[in-house]
Chains A and B, each alone.
Chain A
Amino acid sequence: MAARRRLGTTELVYIALLGVVVVGGILVALQGRNLFSTANTVDMLGRSSLLGMVALGQTLVILCRSLDLSVGYVVALSTLVAATTMDGDPARVPLGIAVTLLVAGAIGLANGLIISVLKVNPFITTLGMGLIIKGYLDTQFKGPAGAVPEGFRQFGYSRIGFVPLSAAVMLAMAVAGILYLRKSRTGFHMYAVGGSADVARMSGIRTGRVMVTAHVICAMTAGVAGLLLAARFGTGNALVYDDGYELDSIAAVVLGGTFLMGGRGGVAGTLGGVLILAELDTVFNILGVDAFFKDVLRGVIIIAAVAIYARRRLDVRASRRRFDGDGGAGGGSPPDPPPNRDGPVSTEQGGAR
């Protein structure tokens, strides 16, 4: 019992975030400016809210050992659905929100059903779904369309103290996501399905339903991101899909310590990953780093982070029970079983199962 508890991946993510903030703060201070000024903090949080929403949903899907490459297109479609439904009429705002979430959810439902019923690989399913939405958007909308009433545009611009409203919504969604994964049965089942779909099925979990649920939630969070973008732009725009949210969100999820092959990780880590990316962006912007150099750095940082997690996982794997895999996000603090309890029985165990 006296053994020191190992740092979980999520703690590591937040330590990295702290490191980024400190180093960034020093670099910015060397230029005689303040990273922690209200303007910069608002900028950072504003950046994080959009990617955060998309990455939240992506986390659930990746936990189930799936993937959603259509989120960028869902975001674009959602901006248009929201803006054209609201059409500048404040009375139609609730309708616009409902229709947007419904459409996004329907796309998630289609993704989930194609994956779980037709047994099409998630990569192909969501890539194809993205293409389908892209085709529809390009054919149907030649430019910006619809209008968002002034009241709803507050969602994009107003802030409470130094926290933008959009960031507050994103944080609330993150808390809901953490609770969902920790407390709800379906959330728990997602870890099981991601860990091993066969074992989960034999334990009586309806794996198909879990997969569909994850995809519906993922598409709906992308829908919320679309609502936010519509509020910021004041109109719907199809070209949003060029921003590459699908790959960015996957990068954020993985940077947050969620295992790409499913079953390990959590929303708290993803939030950390999103904040790291947003903080880096803010620091680069203040320092005036070349936009292309930012891409290079981002690529290197993502690979390096995952390499570090993979190193840690190599020696943790043998001594961690699968269902504890919530990324060790503080909270329940599951006691690790003593390492090497069975002496030589080590990594091979996993393969023989």
Chain B
Amino acid sequence: MTLTKPGQAAGASVRTRLADVAGRLFGGGSPTVFALLVVVFVVIFVMNPSFAEPPSMMAFLKKAAPLVILAVGQYFVIVCGELDLSVGSLVGAQVVIAAALIDGEESRTVPVLFVMLAFGILVGLVNGLITTLLKVHSLITTLGMMLVLYGAIRLWTGGAPTGALSEAFRQPGRGGIDMPVVRQLPWSLVILFAVVVAAVVLMRGSYGRTLIATGDNEKTAMFSGARVWQVRTSAFVLSSVMASLAGVLIGGFAGVTAQVGQGLEFTAITAVVLGGVVLGGGRGTVVAAMAGALTIEALFTLFNQMALPSTIRPAVQGVIIIAAVAYAARERARPGPHTQTPPAPPEQNPDRDPAVT
């Protein structure tokens, strides 16, 4: 227990302890997003008690899985101090590529999945290498990549997507294992679970620490022996691979259209930032980023429950994002157990490390 100094604020210790426990439980992220998530869910449950039943929860998670996966990918990039605007058009590109290459034939499903993986890795590598080696700001790199992907895919297909997805390809996005209680355990939930576990394990290992250190202070990380450009490039590759995976799920769930993936990059970034991950890097946990994505999906569900006209939803979403981030910024500015060192937070801040006990 190095988190709170012994004599500090004995009176308010209960609240501090509670926040502390919550922080540990959820990986030390900002508690704001978890509070918001709980509030949104409580409101949904109150308005519609049947939502709490396992089948509808499963349906919710199935719909939320792609965004959560995208948020995980975006988290890697944001926490090391960069930004990836190309994920939305990459999702669209992957779905269109899959439809055009598979063209309705079951036997091509697996090879095409490998092609998609390779394409995702390639896009990530290009993004990463341009950003790290050519020193182009990642906002510009990925904005350019977004334009290139958008144009190239439409150029290739002549404007409208062609071909069709195979039944096997659509299974991960819409199928599942039949079970009692939950009626159906969606494949996307299984995939999501695997991604969550992998991401948490990755972020607790040395790679994750190097990633956060790079985002916190590039120079210090470099002097401590981290290969900054390799770490950053790998983060871009991870983001693109996650986007490809999300593309498989979205393609299976929603089918092929020309608009698929549009605007997803901003939703994913919003989710990550809502989770208390600081743009600019070095702060925030992957679990909180995923909670941010879940919160956004829960908000969409809530809007449905409230029968809010679809046109006003962006406005409500905008207000909530700004308010949540402003609240989180206020929390950070206040001296407390999470920010014990007001002047220039050190790079290897042990307080932030949830693995140390």
Which residues of A come within 8 Å of B, CB atoms? 114, 118-121, 123-125, 127-136, 138-139, 247, 250-251, 254, 260-261, 290, 292-300, 302-303, 306-307, 310-311, 313-314, 351
Q: What are some 7 contacts across the A-B interface (CB < 8 A)?
A: A119-B333, A124-B273, A128-B318, A136-B315, A260-B139, A290-B155, A292-B154
Contact mask for chain B residues 137-163; partner A; CB cutoff 8 A; 1 contact, 0 none? 101110111111011101100010000
Candidates B219, B318, B330; contact of A351 at CB < 8 Å: B219
The stretch that binds A, out of B4-12, B18-26, B35-43, B319-327, is B319-327
Residue of B nearest to A251 (CB): B143
* B207 interfacial contact with A, CB 8 Å: no
Which residues of B come within 8 Å of A, CB atoms? 130, 134-137, 139-141, 143-148, 150-152, 154-155, 159, 219, 266, 269-270, 273, 278-280, 309, 311-319, 321-322, 325-326, 329-330, 333
A135 and B144 in contact, given A114-B326, A127-B266, A129-B322 (Cβ under 8 angstroms): no
Is A135 a contact of B151 with CB atoms below 8 Å? no
Residue of B nearest to A301 (CB): B144
User: Which 4 A-B residue pairings sit nearest by Cβ, starting from the closest?
Assistant: A135-B315, A295-B151, A131-B318, A299-B147
A127 and B321 in contact, given A135-B312, A299-B145 (Cβ under 8 angstroms): yes
Cβ of A26 to closest chain B Cβ, rounded Å: 24
Is A311 a contact of B322 with CB atoms below 8 Å? no
Is A303 a contact of B326 with CB atoms below 8 Å? no
B318 / chain A contacts, CB cutoff of 8 Å: 127-132, 134-135
Across the A-B interface, how many residue pairs have beta carbons closer than 8 Å? Answer: 142
Q: Is the interface of B mostly helix, strand, loop or mixed?
A: helix
A127 / chain B contacts, CB cutoff of 8 Å: 266, 269-270, 318, 321
A139 and B311 in contact, given A121-B273, A123-B279, A128-B322 (Cβ under 8 angstroms): yes
Is B266 a contact of A311 with CB atoms below 8 Å? no
Is B155 a contact of A292 with CB atoms below 8 Å? yes
Is A138 a contact of B312 with CB atoms below 8 Å? yes
Cβ of A193 to closest chain B Cβ, rounded Å: 16
Bound Cα distance from A295 to B143, whole angstroms: 11
A303 / chain B contacts, CB cutoff of 8 Å: 130, 136, 140-141, 144-145
What 16 additional pairs, Cβ within 8 angstroms, besides A133-B315, A134-B314? A118-B322, A123-B279, A124-B270, A128-B318, A131-B318, A135-B312, A138-B314, A250-B143, A251-B140, A260-B140, A296-B147, A298-B144, A302-B144, A303-B144, A311-B134, A313-B135
Cβ of A20 to closest chain B Cβ, rounded Å: 17
Is B325 a contact of A295 with CB atoms below 8 Å? no
Bound Cα distance from A347 to B313, whole angstroms: 48
Is A131 a contact of B321 with CB atoms below 8 Å? yes
A132 and B319 in contact, given A124-B279, A292-B154, A303-B136 (Cβ under 8 angstroms): yes
Cβ of A225 to closest chain B Cβ, rounded Å: 20
Among A134, A294, A314, chain B packs the most CB atoms within 10 A around the CB of A134
Is B148 a contact of A295 with CB atoms below 8 Å? yes
Is B316 a contact of A135 with CB atoms below 8 Å? yes
Is A261 a contact of B137 with CB atoms below 8 Å? yes
Residue of A nearest to B218 (CB): A351
Residue of B nearest to A67 (CB): B139
Is B314 a contact of A124 with CB atoms below 8 Å? no
Bound Cα distance from A16 to B135, whole angstroms: 20
